[in-house]
Structure 1
Amino acid sequence: MKKQTSFITLSLMLATPALAGGAGAPVARPAATPCKSIAQIVMSDPNFSTLATAIEAAGLGQTLMGGQYTVFAPTNAAFAKLPSDTLAMALNDAAMLRSILLYHVVPGKVSAKQVMGMSSGKTAQGSSFLVSVSGGKVMIDNATVTKADVMACNGTVHVIDTVLMPAMSVAAQPATAPAAPAVTVSAPAAPSVDIMSIPAMPMSGGTMTTTTTTTTTTATTEATATGSEMTESNTLYDMIVADERFSTLRDLISDAELTDVLISNDYTIFAPTNEAFEGVDPDQLALIASNPETLKQVLLYHVVSGKLNAEDLKAGTQLRSAEGTSLDLSMDGSSVMVNTAMIDGAPITASNGNIFAINELLLPDTLVLPDPPTGAEVMTETTATTTTTTAPMVMNSASLVEALSQPQFSTLLSLVQKADLVGALTATDVTVFAPTNDAFAKVPQATLDALMADPAKLKQVLTYHVVAGRVVDDGLKVSQLRSLEGSSIDLKASGATYLVGNLSAANAMGSTISARTNAGNSVIYTIDMVMLPPTLK
């Protein structure tokens, strides 16, 4: 009541200034909170500390203080996905760093709703990124937008979970800051957008042909409006990605398709460290990792609903895991034990839960290990346009070069070495669509000879088979991915079947994914045809 009386009194004073002393001087209004520039938003948010450092190192701080821009901003967790030597190399190469950062910048103010209506956009770096919408998620190249429409005085910030990488041929060129604030990305008038498909791949014949066609895609979801969040930042998954102690766990979470679960729900996670996984029998771990359902069962045994703190654990004796069976809690001196695993240190706090590091992998009593795989179970159905297969079989982890040293990839590895691409492919996490020797045998010998005689074209073809970052599971269920060559790769997921290639043309040929190999933090998909970029002349 007192508050209401104060408002009434203030209203009377404003209406009759004579009662306030006759002069009637206007009462000053509280000063409005000043908005922040894009640079200030990045510099003031601890989640962008790595990005802030990179912007300063590239001399782009003043650029992002003025003008009108849209920035797709990678979080610290996004940068943590990059190998430390790759990040250090970029920070010490001003031209490369500037090129990478400007690939995240679009001149003009582009809202999330506009982004969702586009198929691609032109960056300040000079090349274009791809836009796709799948299951309510907005993808920029191979990065997911996790928070949209963070408004700045001079534009908009959209938060992403992966660092965007321009095509290799462009990234090496010095980039210049945008000179004008004019918008170079525009949304189409209707929700349907045109997406350029990649060329058909040769199955037979003596020439290499390219065909460009057009297909129409409709954005079915408007998951983001002004000021809304697609997913909460600093989630359990973000915190696991950002901590190098959990790199093995991170990869297995992705393999088990549990990423979305750990982003959208409140949980407590007992997270085995890399050392914990090293203590598991390699053959046993390989069997667990080879079967998605078994892997999911084991990982969910480490997850408990709700956000529990250290005191909750000390006071408890048993917890129900998300897998369904129980976890026993006990004390060993001052340390909390989960079954036979010891919690190491204080919890890591995420926006949707807590993470406790543990020194052992927990296995539920109900676990039944699958039989050792005897090879990929392939079901082939040949038509005029496509070849289908069952879900890719997951092979054991290995380094990228070691994985490509398998006999079936001897032709590919020799070409990678001849094109001097080994360093580029091992400097960061990548996804390789790897044609087998049989796939290369389908390419006319004259075409192979021409590629061998032209290093630039050979590099162009090989980098068309490579995507920046680790693309697994739902990451394949998009319409397109951006290759390191710069062109888009068309994808189609139908149940457990995955095809890559130009799948919309009348004479389309689909390249089949038949197996997946985890190569450290990178991944290799075995395919049965050589893909040719649409830019190849």
Structure 2
Amino acid sequence: MCSWRALLVVAISWILAARCSAQADQEAQKNVLDTAAAAGLTDLVSWIDVADLDEKLREDGPHTLFAPTNAAFGRLPPALVWRLKTDDEFLRSVLEYHVAPGRWAVVDLAARGQTTSMQGEDIQVAVGRNRLGRSQLLILQKNANATVIGANMAASNGIVHAINRVLLPPSLQPEPSIEDLMLRAGNLNTFLGLVESADMMSTLREGGPLTLFAPTDDAFNSVDPSILRQLRREPRLLKAVILSHIVNKDLSSFDLRTKTVELNSLGELIVFRTVGSVVLVNTARLLQEDLIAQNGALHIISDLLLPSINALGSQGLPSKSNLLEELQMNGLTIFTDLVKKSGMALIFQNGDPLTSFAPSNKALSSLPRQEVRRLTEDLDHLRKVVSRHILAEVLPTGSFVPDSLKNNFAGEKIRINVYKRPRAGDVYTANGVQLTVLDERGSNGILHIIDGILPPANHTAIETLQSQLRFSTFLSGLQASDLIATLKSGEWSAGVRPHRYTQVRWVVCRRQTSSPHSSQVSGLQASDLIATLKSGGWSAGVRPHRHTQLRTGLGSDGHILVSAGGGKVTKVIETDIVVSNGVIHVVDTVL
């Protein structure tokens, strides 16, 4: 009996071993790119396809692929993402640096200490320990090392290691920013916290060239804690204090010893004096000098540099900087470069008073690669896009009128809106795009930073629907209900305001092959359609037989939900199609 049990155990073991071996053989049939994709490292695979390296990595070998996680790509600075999308040679160099000829397991790499990449430069590695004391393989980089978090994934033509950072070849690794230098210093944490509270970290990360005089943590020991609390409650005052520590040029220690005065970002004087071997910045002692960054210089000082009473008491911060300099100061390096490339820099420097809605670096770098390339290669298109973000008047947010139209430099309309939220703070939008930084004053106008690019609004709602086949069934319903002329009108009043603060003008049903059927749409009565389209108190000369209220909410998956009169809940699957006479949102079924 025992022998039969033993034989059964052995047989089961053989079967399991055979299955495991078959599974391993099957997985080993995948090349390094398919192996990376199967492990969820899809962003790297997509970039490799863009760079036309996919065929080489799928067929040749053996290769060792260091594959950053998708989260690692998501943490890349926007300026670096922009360069990856615009500079093919740079993209190829970065990707080739993630590949080493040969099949190198982690133990082999640890023993060697380095390997040569396909790009030609060496990849330096070292063994470190994590917080639990476990060994881990580090890939050494100038600003931040990468860690192997998923090792030795076998492939048919090599091996894949998942890493938690995107690598840059040593020759392409940037110098640290002023933000990086402050973080490394270790004794500037209080000032860093104030900069973060003022939402000015992007200035220290990507603005410049500039010089920052940063007070140490000890400098705040003599400051009443109630003053710090007040600064955090008063963003305007906090920003004035921080700007008093910034000069909009790169100053070395030699400059500090040979100059007597310089203007800070508030337009106020900073006085430099040398007493023996001590350099004084106003009354603060220079403790550490010439910490050089890619965007300027950092000098550490013993005390705060406080603005004058006039600066603290003014309703708007004075500015000696024109709008182009304001773009640079706020770290908007991509939009600044686009403005210069478009030939419109003089308008931002010394043109008539104007307002600019400037997209953030993140907003621009998030554009599809095709649009990024068009902006950098099609000058006429670039000029039109830049012009779309300029108004020929000074428009602070205090002058925003809800649902008003303004003319931009491109000859188009921009729809301005304000959404009052007494507890959470008001929200301001332009063509449905939210303003994230408000009322940055320059000598020749005002700058608002926005979290997207302003979409064009050249066509009416009907023209937009007619240009897309997917709305043909809905258009048939509008035609049958005599609503075409209504949707060509530009005289719609304000309506429902959904989750993304965008004004609902039309909720459009996409064309479907199943429900709703064409007969359901084309058979709708005009009164029903108008009740849906004109909910929330809208009027357009035709009064429906009943008044229907649109209700909106946010679903668990992040989509906006809409219901009409307590009926079926509909999901908004596409938002903010901006048209000349309103906004279209696409829903997945008939209301």
Question: Normalization by structure 2: what TM-score?
Answer: 0.32
Higher relative contact order (Cα pairs below 8 Å, separated by 6+ residues): 1
Greater helix share, structure number: 2
Which of the pair has more CA radius of gyration? 2
What is the TM-score of this pair, normalised by structure 1?
0.35
